[in-house]
């Protein structure tokens, strides 16, 4: 990742956002927890500052930006340098792969999901959480007037684009849920329970499995 990336230069501001929007963070955590797989050898791709990994008990992460990775390490997360499209992991080596709010910063989503399938053991689970472009938060973050230094370099995808890419990589979608329903300006007023669909919320979580066949 380039040295002028905001994840190298403004990573403390990125991490502080979660303190300033604690109810949004708790709503997102609740949605992810509702789809957690069985405990096992888990890793988070795009671990960032380690907020989600620490809260969910994920011991390892992959992250290309050393700046924000320093915060994850301070939270006790083992961080491997790498990108979602080329994971520094052996074939069939992990039970669970988490990709939380990272898809919009991934250049090649299809390659990232193929890598996810590659590193999962047969029967292993991927938990993918993202902000759809076709959502209220998606409209906010893709607004040309958007000044957020992180989302200015983001590439949000629609729900259908993400789901199609997951399945094209050979992962079988099991369940979906969503949270952050309503307008972004009111999202931090209270913690929202997840809804068991991925159609209307601004934060969608997908649980998908690598089939037991190893081809």
List pLDDT tens digits, range 146-187: 666 666 677 899 999 999 999 999 999 999 999 999 999 999
pLDDT in tens, 95-132: 999 999 999 999 999 999 999 999 999 999 999 999 99
pTM: predicted TM-score of the whole model, two decimal places: 0.93
Q: Considering the domain boundaries, does residue 214 fall inside one?
A: no
Q: Considering the domain boundaries, does residue 43 fall inside one?
A: yes
- For tokens 């997840």, name the residue: 194
Q: Considering the domain boundaries, does residue 215 fall inside one?
A: no
Domain carrying residue 86 = 6-209
Q: Considering the domain boundaries, does residue 93 fall inside one?
A: yes
Distances (CA, A) of 179 to 3, 57, 169, 183: 34, 21, 25, 12
Between CA 15 and CA 18, with CA 17 as vertex, the angle to 5 degrees is 80
Domain count, the chain: 1
Q: Considering the domain boundaries, does residue 204 fall inside one?
A: yes
Instruction: Using pLDDT thresholds of 50, 70 and 90, give the confidence band for residue 9.
Output: low
Q: Considering the domain boundaries, does residue 120 fall inside one?
A: yes
For the chain, the distance separating the N- and C-terminal CA atoms, rounded to the nearest angstrom, is: 33
Average pLDDT, the chain: 91
CATH of the domain at 51: 3.40.50.150
């Amino acid at each position: 990742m380039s040295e002028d990336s905001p994840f190298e230069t403004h990573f403390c501001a990125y991490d502080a956002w979660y303190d300033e929007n604690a109810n949004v963070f708790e709503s997102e955590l609740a949605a992810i927890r509702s789809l957690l797989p069985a405990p096992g050898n888990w890793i988070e791709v795009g671990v960032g500052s380690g907020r989600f990994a620490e809260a969910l008990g994920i011991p390892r992460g992959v992250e290309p930006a050393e700046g924000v990775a320093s915060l994850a390490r301070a939270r006790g997360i083992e961080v491997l340098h790498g990108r979602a499209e080329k994971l520094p992991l052996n074939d069939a080596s992990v039970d669970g792969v988490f990709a939380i709010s990272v898809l919009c910063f991934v250049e090649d989503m299809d390659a990232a999901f193929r890598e996810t399938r590659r590193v999962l053991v047969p029967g292993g689970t991927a938990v993918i959480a993202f902000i759809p472009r076709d959502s209220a938060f998606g409209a906010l973050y893709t607004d040309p007037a958007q000044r957020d230094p992180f989302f200015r370099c983001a590439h949000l995808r629609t729900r259908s684009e993400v789901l199609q890419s997951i399945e094209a990589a050979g992962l079988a979608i099991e369940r979906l849920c969503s949270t952050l329903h309503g307008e972004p300006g009111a999202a931090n007023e209270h913690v929202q329970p997840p809804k068991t669909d991925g159609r209307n919320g601004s934060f969608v979580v997908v649980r998908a499995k690598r089939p037991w066949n190893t081809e």
